[in-house]
Amino acid sequence: MFRVCIFGTGYVGLVTGTCLAEVGHHVTCVDIDADKIDGLNEGRIPIYEPGLEPMVRDNVRDGRLHFTTDAAEAVSDAEVLFIAVGTPPDEDGSADLKYVLKVAETVGDNIRGSVIVANKSTVPVGTAEKVDGVIRERLAARGEEFPVEVVSNPEFLKEGAAVDDCMRPDRIIVGTRSKETADRLRQLYAPFNRNHDRLIIMDVRSAELTKYAANAMLATKISFMNEMANVAERVGADIEMIRKGIGSDPRIGWHFIYPGAGYGGSCFPKDVRALASTAREHDVEPELISAVESVNERQKKHLFELVARHYHGGENLRGKTFALWGLSFKPDTDDMREASSRTLVAQLREAGASVRAYDPEAMDEARRVFGEPEGLAFCDSSEATLEGADALIVLTEWKQFRSPDFRLLARSLSDRVVFDGRNLYEPADVESMGLAYYAIGRGRSC
């Protein structure tokens, strides 16, 4: 059993803390957001993540999981401190380290003995050294000197499958120079590392860069497929056939080759930008990484182009009402950070259209993001969005949208048209109901 303290009770911190408690460690989660901590102490989970709620409840009940805003108390007897606070993009795209360095100050001001500080936030190369420097400065100001080892321990969990990823990680990366620290973390992670050795120990800088390399590679696959989809659309080919054709090559594989309405979320967009910024800082022109981002920005607007093409220019969609299925940036999450829905809703409203939106989990978040502006209605179900709608746009591939009642769509949508931003349907199935169907890269939209 380890006594663990986690700074940041968001997607990464809350899930990591809960999973560590689940395997027997004693975990205190600290956050500066008092509402979040009060809510957690009253049993309210601030995010939607499959399987998380009962796990939090059970571990709180069993006394292994605590939530507090009192950082001094939380670090007082912890052996391992995790940093899991946000690293949002700065104005120039680089990662803003203000939250991470604030935690370093708090750690330096409050620890009472030897600790390992493991950084899970996604941070540029060199951040562990900065964190180490801040902690030492603060300790010196107190006239204290404790052995502190700052390691990089990047997080690879996926929102929507975060609990599963945390309980069964495909790798645990630890960047440290110290064999003793690596051994301690090996012990801490042992419950997640039983089936085969998933720990990869490396130097700190490589660990920090590995996280960016992983996200940039995944984003590259998506942008590549989106670019291919645009070519397919123009030449009259079907990207879904091409996807099957290339995915069957094991060197390419099936994962992350789905074309769509662009990637979003809290990680890919900001991490791709931050990696480009790191490259530039070190005199490497990030040509490929920059293209990945610009292709994605263009792709987020592509669905609106299809709408505009259908409606003969689309400059003025005044009077048109669009049913919109899906607001979160991907299924199984309520996260709307950099979601394609934000771009599309803005474009539709700018063109004078009304939107009737539904998402299985992101409705509260959507109200927070959009407010309740005129021309945007939030509906209680996917069927309710169809009332008075002229066309349907599908934007997030939630399972419940995968097999709709096309007869109902044909009866409900006055313009009898479906725009599918995730290629969920067989064109023939939709068209056989007398609906026009636009998807991504399926050779039928020009």
Of 157 and 377, which has the nearer Cβ to ligand NAD? 157
Q: Is 256 annotated as a binding residue?
A: yes
Distance CA 394, CA 341 (A): 10
Q: Is 297 annotated as a binding residue?
A: no
For position 9 contacting ligand NAD by CB under 6 A, the verdict is yes
Distance CA 7, CA 29 (A): 6
Listing from the earlier edge strand, what are the strands of the sheet with 391-394?
A: 376-378, 354-358, 321-325, 391-394, 417-420, 436-438
Residue-by-residue DSSP string for 143-163: T----EEEEE------TTSHH
Catalytic option among 19, 267, 379, 446 = 267
3-state secondary structure at position 357: strand
Stretch of 4-12, 303-311, 389-397, 408-416 lying at the interface with ligand NAD (CB under 6 A): 4-12
3-state secondary structure at position 172: strand
Q: Is 405 annotated as a binding residue?
A: no
Residue-by-residue DSSP string for 245-295: HHHTSTTT-STT----S---SSSHHHHHHHHHHHHHHTT---HHHHHHHHH
Stretch (H or E) spanning 325: strand 321-325
For position 33 contacting ligand NAD by CB under 6 A, the verdict is yes
For position 85 contacting ligand NAD by CB under 6 A, the verdict is yes
> Any catalytic annotation for residue 267?
yes
Stretch of 25-33, 177-185, 223-231, 409-417 lying at the interface with ligand NAD (CB under 6 A): 25-33
Which residues in 266-295 contact ligand NAD (CB under 6 A)? 266-267
For position 102 contacting ligand NAD by CB under 6 A, the verdict is yes
SS3 content of the chain, % helix, strand, coil (to 5): 45, 15, 40
- Copy the structure tokens of residue 58: 């059970």
For position 263 contacting ligand NAD by CB under 6 A, the verdict is no
For position 159 contacting ligand NAD by CB under 6 A, the verdict is yes
For position 30 contacting ligand NAD by CB under 6 A, the verdict is yes
For position 121 contacting ligand NAD by CB under 6 A, the verdict is yes
Residues placed in the known binding site for NAD(+): 31, 36, 87, 122, 159, 270, 337
Residues binding ligand NAD (CB under 6 A): 7-13, 30-33, 36, 84-87, 99, 102-103, 120-122, 155, 157, 159, 266-267
Active site residues: 267
Residues placed in the known binding site for substrate: 156-159, 211, 256-260, 264, 330
